[in-house]
Amino acid sequence: MSEVKLEDIVSLAKRRGFIYQGSEVYGGLSGTWDYGPLGVSLKRNIMNAWWQTFVDSRDDMYGVDAAILMNPNVWKASGHVDTFTDPLVECSNCKGRFRADHLEGDKCPNCGKTGTFGEARQFNMMFKTNVGPVDDDKSISYLRPETAQGIFINYKNVLDSFYPDLPFGIAQMGKAFRNEISPRDFIFRSREFEQMEIEYFVQPDKWQESFDALLADIHEFLKSLGLPAESIHELEVPDDDRAHYSKRTIDIEYDFPIGREELLGLAYRTDFDLKNIQDNAGKNMEYTIKGTNDKFIPHVIEPSFGVERMIMAVLTSAYREDEQNGEKRIYLALPEHLAPVKYAVSPLLKNKPELVAKAREVYDALKKKHGNVMWDDNGNIGKRYRRQDEIGTPYCVVIDFETLDDDTVTIRDRDTTEQKRIAITDLE
Ligand code: GAP
């Protein structure tokens, strides 16, 4: 387990504008979270890094962005209508409903009574909705509980447009919705969250090598986010615990403040999904090896990342406390490419117009080049440093009277708190 406490992460996230409770002003909506100005940057930086690593920098990956609402047959064929369930029990005393496999003993966590649970029943986690103005059985659709199916239903489109050689992957990131019985642990188990998924299509007898290669790519990516190797664990999921579609799954677990829990999964889905589409939609999903008559339905390896869990892991690994000048300091040692703000620029004194004008010049130039640059002239310089440390800004740039003479500035490093004098031209 991480030594960082969950309440410290939650408190920093709220205080500094990363993550707020969803609909807080109306008392909240359980299992939903809103991203503030810094949270949205951190989230986008993680998602952009993922897209850059797994899609843009590779020749064998294609991106898609499918509609969230899909034909309900997608979810019938995929098995979600019948089997995407968790066991639910109800307390006969307080009527509280709980996930049976999350309970410890037979004591109700809400009212404290024992022996009040009835039989567990299967609860389907998909959010149902109606598409169009008629509210009947024919108009039922679902908010997607995974982005994966939006990829599978576009496999043939991508094949017909790009004629890729096997193996190749299709990637998608975006919202997913699950009506979790008990959302909990901050953003870890939410009802609305984002996924980043790849369906990697392979020849059936070559699945193992792609599985191993993707596993290695996943570890490289986690390292690039600054997650320490000793906090990452592979769990070979036993037969009984695997999803209905999987022949092999490795869960990548992380030492979160709530304990060792699933960060993402890597599953060998065989031809389960494409075969189901072929059988249910009546469309041929076969792949023909170029220049041969060799036809088959490709098998699939699926790396499936949850964005919220990546954010929680990144915040946990970056959270630090130390002492500076006898005072406790909190800082986020975020890797530069994830930090919501790269440079904070300040005039030493905000009531000196010549310093402010020069600082604005430096700020404008950096902002034009990097975008994620913050103007910060609130409070004294010590307070500004503390604030920037807490949001993980790697560099604070201060313009003082010396700057006016020789075009040098002070640049302070977040992690070491060391300050150096450098030429403005060297800031780049
Ligand atoms: N397409 C396969 C799939 O969706 P999953 O294990 O159900 O597999 C993949 O989900 C990942 O999505 C998980 O490893 C986790 O990171 C994330 N995830 C799943 N449910 C979540 C929830 N309720 N809240 C936040 N993230 C969730």
- For 357-401, write each residue's pLDDT tens digit: 999 999 999 999 999 999 999 999 999 999 999 999 999 999 999
Helices (H), 325-413: 353-370, 381-391, 401-406
Two tokens at 271?
């031809």
Q: Give yes or no: residues 217 and 285 share one domain.
A: yes
Is 54 inside a domain boundary?
yes
Two tokens at 400?
């003082």
- The CATH number of whichever domain residue 387 belongs to comes to 3.40.50.800
Cα 306 to ligand 1 centre (Å): 5
- Indicate whether 63 pLDDT > 90: yes
pLDDT tens digits, one per residue of 115-167? 999 899 999 999 999 999 988 888 999 999 999 999 999 999 999 999 999 99
Q: Give yes or no: residues 311 and 403 share one domain.
A: no
| Ligand 1 pocket test, candidate residues 124, 304, 307, 310, most atoms within 8 A of CB | 304
- The CATH number of whichever domain residue 251 belongs to comes to 3.30.930.10
State the closest ligand 1 atom to the C-alpha of 146, by its place in the atom list counted from 1. 4
State the closest ligand 1 atom to the C-alpha of 190, by its place in the atom list counted from 1. 24
d(CA 58, CA 200): 13
- Indicate whether 425 pLDDT > 70: yes
End-to-end CA distance of the chain: give it in Å, rounded.
Answer: 39
Query: Crossing angle, helix 6-15 and helix 307-318, to 10 degrees?
Result: 100
Task: Indicate which residue's Cα is closest to atom 27 of ligand 1.
Answer: 306
Q: Give yes or no: residues 388 and 279 share one domain.
A: no
- Indicate whether 8 pLDDT > 70: yes
Q: What is the pLDDT of residue 59?
A: 97
| Local confidence band at 215 (pLDDT 50, 70, 90 cut-offs) | very high
Element (H, E) at 280: helix 272-281
pLDDT tens digits, one per residue of 305-357? 999 999 999 999 999 999 998 999 999 999 999 999 999 999 999 999 999 99
Task: Indicate which residue's Cα is closest to atom 4 of ligand 1.
Answer: 146
Task: Please work out, in degrees rounded to the nearest 5, the angle formed at the alpha carbon of residue 131 by the alpha carbons of 126 and 134.
Answer: 125
Q: Give yes or no: residues 356 and 300 share one domain.
A: no
Q: Give yes or no: residues 346 and 234 share one domain.
A: no
Residue 301 near residue 207 (C-beta atoms within 8 A): yes
pLDDT tens digits, one per residue of 223-259? 999 999 999 999 999 998 888 888 999 999 999 999 9
Read off the pLDDT of each residue in 75-90 and give the average, rounded to a whole number: 93
State the closest ligand 1 atom to the C-alpha of 262, by its place in the atom list counted from 1. 14
Two tokens at 215?
């596993």
Is 180 inside a domain boundary?
yes
Task: Indicate which residue's Cα is closest to atom 18 of ligand 1.
Answer: 306
Read off the pLDDT of each residue in 3-26 and give the average, rounded to a whole number: 96
Number of Cβ within 10 Å of residue 392's Cβ equals: 28
State the closest ligand 1 atom to the C-alpha of 264, by its place in the atom list counted from 1. 14
What are 164-168's contacts with CB under 8 Å, separation 24+? 164/60, 164/62, 165/290, 166/201, 166/202, 166/203, 166/287, 166/289, 166/298, 167/60, 167/200, 167/201, 167/202, 167/203, 167/206, 167/210, 168/60, 168/61, 168/62, 168/200, 168/201
Q: What is the pLDDT of residue 102?
A: 86
Q: Residues lining ligand 1, judged by CB closer than 6 Å? A: 146, 148, 178, 180, 189-190, 193, 195, 197, 262, 264-265, 302, 304, 306, 308-309
| Ligand 1 pocket test, candidate residues 47, 182, 194, 308, most atoms within 8 A of CB | 308
Q: Of all residues in the chain, what percent carry a pLDDT higher than 90? A: 91
Read off the pLDDT of each residue in 196-204 and give the average, rounded to a whole number: 98
Mean pLDDT of the chain: 95
- Indicate whether 2 pLDDT > 90: no
Q: Give yes or no: residues 177 and 210 share one domain.
A: yes
Say how far residue 242 (Cα) sits from the centre of its chain: 22
Read off the pLDDT of each residue in 168-181 and give the average, rounded to a whole number: 97
Instruction: Supply the range of the domain harboring residue 168.
Output: 6-69+147-316
Q: What is the pLDDT of residue 1?
A: 67
Cα 244 to ligand 1 centre (Å): 15
